[in-house]
Amino acid sequence: MSLTSAERLWIDRRGATPWALTWEWLARPAHYRAVRNLRLAAENSDTNRLASLLDPDVAVVVDGSDGGAQSIRVVAGRHDVTALLLYGVGQQEGRFAVERSVNGQAGLVLSQDGQTTAAVTVDFSGRLVSVVWVKLNSTTLRHWNTVWPGV
């Protein structure tokens, strides 16, 4: 199979090989399933299941900056990340987590009383979650679609 000049130009601009692009295409459904499993385990307070989805060296990076001062916090380790995810994604009245594409990858959008409060993306190391990126900032997220339960 030969590539057209437009396809070669597109690949060159992305800096990816055809194999890397194919692998990304094949892995995408698995990542969405893994994010779904992560959400369900957190919502059901299934500590053991949630911990089994996480890499032992997992980290959560929380960015609460508002365009001015940087406010980044990092939580590392399976035990601490499990507790954080249970609290942050777990069910509480008025809080919902829904699976959405965030920056082109599998993620979650968290809302409280109809207002988007966080965008979450997940990176993987093999089949395990290696990094959870959380963006908190009401001014940055106010233009996101409103998340309603069951939608």
Please give the order of strands across the beta sheet that includes 128-136: 72-76, 54-63, 128-136, 115-125, 105-112, 95-102
Closest CA to 94 of 117, 128, 126: 117
pLDDT for the residue 1: 42
**How many CA atoms are closer than 13 Å to the CA of 39, on its beta-carbon side?**
20
> In angstroms, rounded to a whole number, what is the distance separating the alpha carbons of residues 50 and 122?
14
pLDDT in tens, 33-92: 899 999 999 999 999 999 999 999 999 998 887 666 667 889 999 999 999 999 888 777
- Residue 129 CA: distances (Å) to CA of 31, 58, 77, 134: 9, 7, 12, 14
Which domains, from first to last, does the chain contain?
A: 5-141 (3.10.450.50)
pLDDT in tens, 83-119: 999 988 877 787 888 888 887 788 998 888 878 888 8
pLDDT for the residue 129: 92
